[in-house]
Chain A
Amino acid sequence: MSNESPRATLLCSQCGKSTDHRFVYAGRLLTHIECENCGHVVHPANQADLPHEYVLDLKQRLRTKPRRLARRAFQHPLKFLAALPKAILRQPVKLINEFRTIRKEEGDQAGR
């Protein structure tokens, strides 16, 4: 999945309108959703556990990565090999961005 923050239309519980929202993830975890109309930000109920949840999720991703890679390699070997170098080079940046997102969420929470 892309590292960019996806946008989609949901009904905002603050302004009551069906508006575009921005979805911010750290890896597979959704960290917050922001209404682009009124700026209302929604966090998960267990936001204080986010760093811990992230580490647990990261461990699971690492554990299942070989199986997922093998599946893709088996499905489309040539496509997989062609994309592999770029995918490997992308991983450090991806992880750094995820750590930054988690740190930022911690900071935001402390500031609220």
Chain B
Amino acid sequence: MLAAGSGSRFGAAQSKVFLPLAGRRVFTWSLRSFASVRSIERLILVIREGDRDLAEETLEREIDDDTPVEIVVGGDTRHESELAALRYLAPDIMNGSINIVLLHDGARPIIPPTLVRSLIQKAAEIGAVIPGLLRDDIRQVNPDGTPQLGSPELYVAAQTPQVFNARAILSAYERAAHEQFVGTDTMSCYEHYHPGGGDWIPGDPRNLKITYPDDLFEAEKILHQSNFHVE
């Protein structure tokens, strides 16, 4: 789980993944969902070094003792944080004890375990999969900014967790580090080195990313409506 995003453009604020949401911090809602999926054996939380005390205190209060969460310090960008997590897992990936890796944005608190199970199953079959929501309301624009005419293209709004064969995503990120390639998201880096190798399955509209203030109210409402237990 990636929770190393910067807190503030101006200094004193905290990372949004540490905001309180319906009695817990934003990121522990999804951590608890992952912990409820039996096939997930290890949970890695990627943070900024400055958030370590808060992260440890939060995990102690909000995550059960029988769900150990390992903390890794990430980098300045999402890509660097992903690489740090993959390198941390590299020995176990190379010896075959980790087959599948899920990379999740800590700012997405509501992740149904059923979706996680479907993603793991699909990634085990084909190597790489993301959850997405079909969008038919997006148009490409010309270089001058005018919209292209004709039928709107179909696009998928990518969500997380993005799920990969562990060796394949590790090798993609190591090659990307060597060649200084940075993708727009995890799948784009994977596809750069494994063209056509990824797929998507329908995500969940509740799996929203906290971006605007309204998103936090929406997430709170969803959690209340589901009696704090999203399936």
Which residue of the partner chain, among B14, B65, B221, contacts A75 with CB atoms under 8 Å?
B65
Residues 1-48 of A at the B interface (beta carbon under 8 Å) = 1, 6-13, 18-21, 23, 25, 28-30, 33, 35, 42, 44-46
Give the secondary structure class of A's interface: strand
Quick check: is A72 within 8 A (CB to CB) of the other chain?
yes
A25 surroundings in chain B (CB, below 8 A): 20
- Decide: A13 near B9, CB < 8 A? Known: A1-B20, A8-B14: no
Residue of A whose beta carbon sits closest to that of B219 = A30
Known: A8-B14, A45-B217. A28 touches B9 (CB 8 A): no
In the assembled complex, the CB of B210 is this many whole angstroms from the nearest CB of chain A, namely 7
Q: CA separation between A11 and B213, bound complex, in Å?
A: 7
Residues of A contacting B214 in the complex (Cβ-Cβ under 8 angstroms): 13, 42
The size class of the interface chain A forms with chain B is 20 to 34
Q: Which chain A residue has the least Cβ–Cβ distance from B16?
A: A8
A35 to B212 Cα, complex, angstroms? 10
A23 and B19 in contact, given A9-B7, A9-B9 (Cβ under 8 angstroms)? yes
Quick one: which of A19, A20, A21, A30 contacts B220, CB cutoff 8 A? A30
Contact A9 B217 (CB under 8 A): no
Q: Chain B: residues with CB nearer than 8 A to chain A?
A: 6-10, 12-16, 18-23, 60-61, 65, 210-217, 220-221
Interface residues of A, Cβ cutoff 8 Å to B: 1, 6-13, 18-21, 23, 25, 28-30, 33, 35, 42, 44-46, 61, 72, 75-76
Q: Which 7 A-B pairs have the closest CB atoms?
A: A7-B13, A33-B213, A42-B213, A28-B23, A8-B16, A44-B217, A20-B13
